[in-house]
Amino acid sequence: MPPTTRIKTLLAQRRQQQLYRQPRIAGCAQQAHMQIDGKAYLSFCSNDYLGLANHSAVISAFQQAANQWGVGSGSAHLINGHSQPHQQLEEALAEFTGRERALLFSTGYMANLGVVSALMQDGDRVYQDRLNHASLLDAAKLCGARQIRFQHNNPQHLVQRMQRQTTGQAMILADGVFSMDGDTAPVRTLATLARERDAWLMIDDAHGFGVLGDNGAGLLEQEALTQDEVPILMGTLGKALGTAGAFVAGSHELIDYLIQTARTYIYTTAQPPAVAAAALTSLRLVKQEGWRRAHLKHLIQQFRSGAAQLGLELMPSQTPIQPLPVGDSGAALALSQRLAEAGMLVTAIRPPTVPKGTARLRITLSAGHSTEDVARLLEALAHSSHTNAGSARVAQAAP
């Protein structure tokens, strides 16, 4: 059989199962009102939660830094690619998160792969919330440890699973804010469990960093959890901070160890220094412009109460991620298409990103939206969701 036979079959299957995906082409910067594939939309699908990706101060920090530092970093951090903007950003992130030290990675995906595979190995145990981000699942696969998944946000189930086996080092991994559900992990309980059982605890706060906490330092600020309680914090810069890259924050010793051993830190080109400079400016805006978080909170309440009035059942989320459960992949796709016809860009999230039978619309709100924007979305949902409720019921009745 020619090698292309398998991919032809898999592609056909994807299409048939309504799981086929394709990137759309944005014709403008990230913002609420966007041009996509040549059409105008009001967008509710970006992770630019604070509206900083296209902020004039962030852009000019980037431009000025590019003038001074050029574009490419030239090499990995440990060769000669680690510049002053990188160093300043690491120091600012450590201070902001209340950790001793922070380390930059080029993406959040790489940060997760790097940390887990540096700390864990064959014979160890990695415990994962079932709804953890794909990069955490892949990280555990890569490190060779046993991967044990526990029921979503169910610490009791985690305890049961931890009691079964006690050899090797243990690590508990959880998203801070679950990316497809919008709910938050019971971090304080996880911290107690980890301490009692001498396990590492790592929280991936990709969606909480910049958004949660009075100052925007994320879920661990909101829950007042220190470095002793949560020794490994991962945050990304491509979401609320509106730039790109990621960091891991923790003790001097942990970061020192990661510098020596995290392969996705060592064997990759450092992010462009101008990106670090832009992120520094974003970080300043996160701290200084608390109104962005306040406005976002207001929009979340507006959306949730409006949806309740329409009889739409949302998931229990207090974050800017507000999923609308549909169930069937085809029905989710159809609803997303009807909304697109009404000028609303909302992505249908389907397996394998979420478990089978739990396809949904993932609506994300941003401080870049106005209350009128949210009102328009609610209106479009009121017109588009009737037929959808019917097909969702049909889907649930099917095996």
Active site residues: 179, 207, 239
Taking the C-alpha atoms of residue 388 and residue 108, their distance in angstroms, rounded to an integer, is: 35
Helix ranges (H only) for 235-328 are: 252-261, 263-266, 273-288, 291-309
What is the number of helices (H) and of strands (E) in the chain?
Answer: 14, 13
Does residue 362 touch ligand PLP according to CB under 6 A? no
Binding mask 310-349 for ligand PLP (x = CB under 6 A): ----------------------------------------
> Considering beta carbons, is residue 47 or 385 the nearer one to ligand PLP?
47
Does residue 81 touch ligand PLP according to CB under 6 A? no
Site stretch for ligand PLP (CB under 6 A), options 3-11, 78-86, 146-154, 200-208: 200-208
CB of 261 to ligand PLP, least distance (A): 20
> Considering beta carbons, is residue 62 or 178 the nearer one to ligand PLP?
178
Taking the C-alpha atoms of residue 19 and residue 227, their distance in angstroms, rounded to an integer, is: 41
Alpha-carbon distances of 389 from 96, 200, 231, 311, 312, rounded to whole Å: 44, 43, 44, 10, 9
Structure tokens at 75: 């090499």
For β-strands 347-349 and 146-150, DSSP reports them as unpaired
CB of 203 to ligand PLP, least distance (A): 10
> Considering beta carbons, is residue 239 or 338 the nearer one to ligand PLP?
239
Instruction: Check residue 98 and give left, alpha or beta (phi > 0: left; psi -120 to 50: alpha).
Output: left
Site stretch for ligand PLP (CB under 6 A), options 199-207, 300-308, 321-329, 341-349: 199-207
> Considering beta carbons, is residue 336 or 353 the nearer one to ligand PLP?
353
Looking at residues 133 to 192 of the shown chain, list those that interact with ligand PLP (rule: CB under 6 A). Answer: 133, 135, 175, 179
Helix 84-97 / helix 273-288 crossing angle, nearest 10 deg: 30
Taking the C-alpha atoms of residue 354 and residue 48, their distance in angstroms, rounded to an integer, is: 21
CA 10 from centre of chain: 28
Angle at 345 between CA 281 and CA 317, to 5 degrees: 70
Among 46, 153, 227, 236, binds ligand PLP (CB under 6 A): 236
Among 77, 207, 293, 338, binds ligand PLP (CB under 6 A): 207
Among 34, 104, 193, 206, binds ligand PLP (CB under 6 A): 206
CA-based end-to-end distance of the chain = 35
Looking at residues 93 to 122 of the shown chain, list those that interact with ligand PLP (rule: CB under 6 A). Answer: 107-109, 112
Q: Which residue is nearest to ligand PLP (CB)?
A: 108
Taking the C-alpha atoms of residue 229 and residue 225, their distance in angstroms, rounded to an integer, is: 6
> Considering beta carbons, is residue 175 or 328 the nearer one to ligand PLP?
175
Contact (CB, 8 A) for 105 and 265: yes
Does residue 220 touch ligand PLP according to CB under 6 A? no
3-state secondary structure of 153: coil
CB of 24 to ligand PLP, least distance (A): 18
> Considering beta carbons, is residue 112 or 388 the nearer one to ligand PLP?
112
Does residue 204 touch ligand PLP according to CB under 6 A? yes
Give 250's strand partners: 101
Where does residue 308 rank: exposed (0-12), middle (13-18), buried (19+ CB within 10 A)?
exposed
CB of 273 to ligand PLP, least distance (A): 18
> Considering beta carbons, is residue 125 or 207 the nearer one to ligand PLP?
207
CB of 342 to ligand PLP, least distance (A): 27
CB of 372 to ligand PLP, least distance (A): 28
Site residues for ligand PLP per CB under 6 A: 107-109, 112, 133, 135, 175, 179, 204, 206-207, 236, 238, 246
